[in-house]
Each structure stands twice: as C-alpha cells, then as structure tokens.
C-alpha cells in the first residue's frame, strides 16, 4: 500500500531495505538482516510544538496471530552531561508494527520543549519472538515526517 503524500507529510527517506531471515527473497532490495536503523535530524519551526509523527511504510509486512509484531524504536541522542563530546542514547518511543497496520505505521514522538535540533534514529526490527527460519521477510520503503502545521522539518542523517 502506497502512502499518499500530503501537504503535512515530508519524505525523509525512500528506498528498499529487506528485513528478515531470508536473504535474497527481494533481489532489488538491500538485505539488512534482522533490523535497520536510520539517523535523522529534526529541527523545530513552531515554538510550541512538542510532538511529531513519523510514518513508516513497508511492503509485505505480516505478523502471526499471537505474536507481538515487528518492533519500532525511536531514539534520541543527547549530550552526556558527564563527558564532553559524548552522547547518551535515550528511548523516546516504541511501537509494534502488525500485519493489521496494512504496511503503514505512525509513531508519535515527544521531543520535549528544548530548542533542537534533535538527533534521532528510527529502528525497525523483525519480530524475533517467532522461531528462527519463520521470521517475516518484508521491505521498508519509506520514512516520512508528519508534523502539525509543519512545525518541524527533518533531514536524513545527523547534521552538526
């Protein structure tokens, strides 16, 4: 299912990353193994905005009934107050991507009231609670930003 781009959605990344335990199933996609993680830099336009929504779009994502689903984790990288030029990774949001999500999942992320820019990463991992050899193979195709009134913008990668 394709994600329609609206005036509120900003394309961050588009490609074809194959996740799962069956390399070679998708010959046109880069095989990543059990997870993939994309770094992004988010800047704030609106002074009152604290929440943004990240949209992950996939193809062929399925889950077995009774299993938790594929894990999405959004991390923030913040300066370590104890060590200069070091950072600490903090979990900002976690969600489970199910087959019932029909290949599109929105994750709400609260970045707080700080000025930014915010260095985040979005990790998508295959559900490994299923027995090895039975993991779902799927393709991560897009990452988008959905911010109310365009109060945030983002770029792929960490920028200084």
Q: Where are the domains of the chain?
A: 9-156
Contacts of 27 by beta carbon, 8 Å cutoff, 6+ apart: none
What is the pLDDT confidence band of residue 1, given thresholds at 50, 70 and 90? Answer: very low
Strand ordering across the sheet containing 35-44: 87-97, 70-79, 118-125, 35-44, 152-156
Let me know if 96 is exposed, middle or buried by CB neighbors in 10 A (0-12, 13-18, 19+).
middle
What's the pTM value of the predicted model, to 2 decimals? 0.92
Q: Does domain 9-156 have CATH number 1.10.3470?
A: no
Digit-coded pLDDT (tens) for 68-120: 999 999 999 999 999 999 999 999 999 999 999 999 999 999 999 888 899 99
């Amino acid at each position: 299912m394709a994600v329609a781009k609206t005036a509120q959605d900003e394309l961050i990344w588009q490609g074809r990353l194959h996740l799962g335990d069956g390399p070679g199933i998708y010959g046109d996609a880069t095989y990543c193994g059990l997870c993939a993680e994309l770094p992004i830099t988010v800047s704030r336009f609106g002074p009152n905005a604290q929440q943004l929504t990240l949209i992950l779009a996939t193809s062929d994502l399925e889950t077995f009934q009774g299993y938790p689903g594929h894990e999405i984790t959004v991390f923030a990288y913040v300066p370590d107050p104890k060590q200069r030029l070091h950072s600490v990774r903090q979990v900002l949001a976690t969600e489970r991507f199910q087959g019932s999500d029909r290949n599109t999942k929105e994750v709400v992320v609260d970045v707080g009231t700080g000025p930014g820019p915010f260095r985040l990463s979005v990790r998508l991992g295959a559900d490994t609670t299923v027995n090895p050899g039975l993991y779902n193979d799927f393709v991560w195709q897009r990452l988008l930003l959905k911010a109310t009134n365009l109060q945030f913008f983002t770029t792929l990668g960490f920028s200084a």
